Structure 1
Amino acid sequence: MNKILVIYPGFPHYRVGIIEALTNSPNNHYVFLGDKKGWNNIKPYDFKDSADFKDFPAYKIGPFYFNRGLIRYAFSQKSNGAIVHAPPHWISIIVATLILRIKGVKVFNWTHGILTNHKNLKNRFYFIFFKYFFDGLLLYGNLAKQNLINLGFNKEKIKVIYNSLDYNKQIKLRGTLTEEERQSIRSHLFDNPNNNQLVFIGRLTTQKKLNLLIKAIKLLKDENILVNLLLIGDGDEKERLQAQIDKYKIADQICFYGASYDETQNYKLISSSDCCVATGEIGLTAMHSLMFGVPVISHSDMNKQMPEFEAILPNINGDLFEYDNTVDLKEKIKNVLNFSKDKSDLQVKEDCYKIMDEYYNPDFQSKLIDSLF
């Protein structure tokens, strides 16, 4: 079997699906290299005592990052291919990439690519970085691919691999919540559980622009349309949001649930809702909600979005509102709630499931990765 190195600064816990899919690949032997403590304050994936994981502790010098011992490993070990997650400031991974390529090993960078269509100095720098340092790219989204092609990148060297979460666990959960349980959850959260229920899951930060969502709920109330909002998460924006809610006199329509990291509980909370709304950039939240059959709304400015927003298909599994436009957000909420009423509950869920089951899952990703080597 080919020995393929997978080199990350550290492996986040939400990579569990693809890590386990690669570990169980019948075609290649994957060895994972990174800091067992993770990176960027994200909970790490636990490899336990797996012989297929090599720990290379991360450290920082000025603006640059390193993994202790990684370069020596790249020199000494034989391999048939490599996948890296390598921004240009992560020096050890870049040097390891160059060593591997000199040794004749193909190296692919699994990266966001270029997320905006601006032909500015930053994007041109990344274009050069991607073109000359790697044999090819694995990108999370199609727009990033097009942005690179527009700058002159060879499209044959780009594969769109999308993203995934713990798909196997999620697939076992979805569809298990009964209507009685759903109503019970809503009754526990809100005084008026018959109102349509919106949900947001993530950190309560300024970047998430949740003040727009609170205002949209007030505008809906002015039209005699009452919706509840479940906020799953915590953060430094909570007090400001609470003040805004009190000002609008809609406290009975909002529930601050707090942070939740339990997948089963999150499934129940998301599935008890009619629509997920992310007013700032949306990433894994889109996948989480669609995987559980809940339509998603986010904004349409591709230059201020994360790749996962491409999974939102207007009038099919959600909608996209004009960036920073609260009135349009209000209208898109009405639209999603209305088109959901025109379908059966099963059809709403299946329209959400479809794109996840086709692309945003570790089976699709692992087959694509296997095909590279």
Structure 2
Amino acid sequence: MSFGRQDWVALAYRQAARRRRLALLAFAGMLVLGLLLDIATGPAMLELSAVASAVAGLGGDASVMAIVWSIRLPVALMALAVGAALGLSGAIMQTILNNPLASSYTLGISAGAGFGASLVIVLGLALPVPETYAIPINAILFAGLACSGVYFIGGARQATAEGLVLAGIALLFLFQALTSLLQMVASPEALQQVVFWLFGSLQKSTWPKLWTLLAVMSVCIPFLVRDVWALTALKLGDARAAALGVNVRALRIRAFILVSALTGVAVAFVGTIGFVGLVAPHVARLLIGEDQRSFLPLSALSGALLLSLASVASKTISPGAIFPIGIVTSLIGVPFFIWLVKHNKRVYW
């Protein structure tokens, strides 16, 4: 029995689809293990079996149940949710800009959110809302402002990928400079709070904050699913995507709105965490390629797993203390960033 060209194409497609499913299942399994390990790790080490029983609601020691449900589970789940949001936003940015170095962190959106939070901490400038939500709301607003700035400075009429990248880099330095200026005029107490917030920390995570983040993600994801085919077509280039019926300009505007919401709400609750949005999409791309139907979910899973493992590392680097998780992710991301620049031969725009 001989195979024709169409048979070989169909076989290759089935094998690729099988590989994508296996990758998603493997990362989902590792995510569960990472979650349990994150909950078990801390000043009082817990057994994985006891943690699994407590999370599953099967009972156990009362002290273990209290530690898991009141203290560690919200933090561990927040690590997964924030990692997924940052990984997803990084994947969207790299797709719409066709640039492997693009992410909400490297293009100034996280820096904008950090500046918005710093305004509240140092100067008390915020909307008339309860103090608990003043920092998150301001961070989200300035993440949106940064996204708008990237788009309009980069050229609202053409909105070319290279213009958007250059505008993002300019805004990154602008918001970092403004944040440094606020640190210069801050009181010692406010300065300590700003520095701690900019380092990134999961330790102030609570159930209400987690539900807020998950609610924003649940609103964003359906819009992203609707555009998954258009994002795949965009990888062929703006001209070919337009020939296939994609409104490239409108697609980029929608994508920037989604990135603004995902990045803003993630940074708002845990502070600035870098390189997750850069590294996670590359892990997904190396494993399954550019098909957005699988690439976007795997980017989210990769980001969640990376931040969960970083959370474990932050609690084990210095016994008895919690290392800032933003520093841990940067220590992981910087070597990867350097490797990417050295080994990727193409021009990035």
Q: Normalising TM by the smaller chain, what interval? A: under 0.3
Q: In proportion to residue count, which structure has more strand? A: 1
Pick 1 or 2: higher relative contact order, CA cutoff 8 A, min separation 6: 2
Q: In proportion to residue count, which structure has more helix? A: 2
> TM-score, length-normalised on structure 2?
0.26
> TM-score, length-normalised on structure 1?
0.25
